[in-house]
Amino acid sequence: MKILVVGGGGREHTIIKKLKENPEVEVIYALPGNGGMKDDAVCVPVGAKDLDGIVAFAKENAIDFAVVAPDDPLVLGCVDRLNEIGIPCFGPRANAAIIEGSKVFSKNLMKKYGIPTATYEVFEDMDAALAYVQDAPIPTVIKADGLALGKGVIIAMTRKEAEDAIVSMMQDKAFGESGSRVVIEEFLTGPEVSVLAFTDGKCVKPMVSSMDHKRALDGDQGLNTGGMGTVAPNPYYTEEIARECMETIFLPTVGAMNAEGRTFKGCLYFGLMLTPKGPKVIEYNCRFGDPETQVVLPLLESDLLTIMMATANGTLAETEVKFADRHACCVVVASGGYPQKYGSGYPMTLPETGKDEYIFVAGAKVQDGVLVTAGGRVLGAVAVEDSLADAVAHAYRIADKVEFENAYKRRDIGQRALAAKQN
């Protein structure tokens, strides 16, 4: 089979390596991919948002199955376009991808169908939003409506910060048109858990849970990033909580999307907070998370391509989705300065990887025959072990052998999870 994967980061590298385990796969094209995955896929310089380019390539190359991984092409309707020319895909159509594309949509969906989430108000008028935060409980959370590269969320610890956030989103357009509408919501507390789930619109098969580390610096300090590391499973996510989430969140969400005529197929990502009043949804994503995928898929024992095809065919109920009873840790190695200004083009030295070790490359390119950095998050160093402590130690042994100028990583990935296990 000829497979096309849209996207070019660490998540896509992970998906590609897993898809390759199926002997039916002859070739995987990554559009655009990156220089660090050249041994695993044929990288084609077509951007992930260039839907015309993607469709033309798929047609010319008689693609059998496509995986659309990032949020932008999903929200833009890449799956719809590929389906139109008869290519089956993994991923939701645009009318379902809106669950991530618009926070106003997702909040209203949860309210309408009684799915637990933070209480909220929506504002299109800046003065009304400013008036509202004069009396709102502080801290409060301000979110731009549309996609904002994961940066459109501000936790305001004071009224002044709330006012500044509203002005920067609604007047200064810090996140472009994404900020024309804002959601202002209740501040929730509790451990956060990421749960990715396969769904064909009928049944839901959750993957192993994970824990992201979003802040740039040790001790969860510094700016929010796309994610500096992950562990799976998440020790806070017990079997009892998993059962509760299935009943109160996962099945109701899939049912709500069907009732709205927006059947969701693909990977639905539930960003959850385990509050003192039970699990609540912080956000939905319409795709695999990154770097969550880098710890979740290495634990998958079943065949990924078979599962992906089943989500498209509506046969997920009969398809095995089994995870190893082991632990994985991913340490992101970034270019110093990320998520703000950072340098690029540094030659990289990568260690050889053996069994249960992976390097998933996110930001790299080949320049004059040499692999050099080409992004903020450069790669994820991943290890799988029988215990969380061993997985963390092993992932750091791999990450510490990665060399390039100004390489930066957090030193405490997994520590919070280890502490939770001991309590």
Which positions lie near ligand AMP, rule CB under 6 A?
118, 141, 150, 153, 155, 185-188, 192, 214, 271, 282-283
Picking from 137, 130, 139, 121, the residue whose alpha carbon sits closest to that of residue 169 is 130
Picking from 51, 50, 33, the residue whose alpha carbon sits closest to that of residue 42 is 33
From the list ligand GLY, ligand AMP, none, pick the one residue 72 interacts with, judged by a Cβ distance below 5 to 8 Å according to partner type. none
Label residue 128 exposed, middle or buried (CB < 10 Å: 0-12, 13-18, 19+).
exposed
Per CB under 6 A, 285 contacts ligand GLY: yes
Residue whose CB is less far from ligand AMP, 250 or 346:
250
Both structure tokens of 245: 């989430």
Measure CA 97 to chain center. 13
Binding residues for ligand GLY, rule CB under 6 A, total 8
Choose the binding region for ligand GLY from 43-51, 285-293, 328-336, 347-355 (rule: CB under 6 A): 285-293
From the list ligand GLY, ligand AMP, none, pick the one residue 290 interacts with, judged by a Cβ distance below 5 to 8 Å according to partner type. ligand GLY
Both structure tokens of 228: 């500096």
What 3-state DSSP class applies to 159? helix
Residues numbered 194 to 213 that lie near ligand GLY (CB under 6 A) are 212
With beta carbons less than 8 A apart as the criterion, state whether 124 and 180 touch. Answer: yes
Q: What CA–CA distance (Å, rounded) separates 59 from 73? A: 17
Both structure tokens of 251: 């099945």
Per CB under 6 A, 192 contacts ligand GLY: no
What Rg, from alpha-carbon coordinates, does the chain have? 21
Residue whose CB is less far from ligand GLY, 167 or 217:
217
In this chain, which of 289, 298, 363, 380 binds ligand GLY, going by CB under 6 A? 289
From the list ligand GLY, ligand AMP, none, pick the one residue 292 interacts with, judged by a Cβ distance below 5 to 8 Å according to partner type. ligand GLY
Choose the binding region for ligand GLY from 17-25, 237-245, 286-294, 317-325 (rule: CB under 6 A): 286-294
DSSP 44: -
Using the structure block, give the residue that is written with the tokens 């709205």.
260
Phi, psi at residue 161, to the nearest 5°? -65, -35
Q: What CA–CA distance (Å, rounded) separates 263 from 183? A: 24
Residue whose CB is less far from ligand GLY, 194 or 311:
194
Per CB under 6 A, 290 contacts ligand GLY: yes
Residue whose CB is less far from ligand GLY, 200 or 212:
212
CB of 272 to ligand AMP, least distance (A): 10
Provide the binding-site residues for ligand GLY, judged by CB under 6 A. 150, 212, 226-227, 285, 289-290, 292
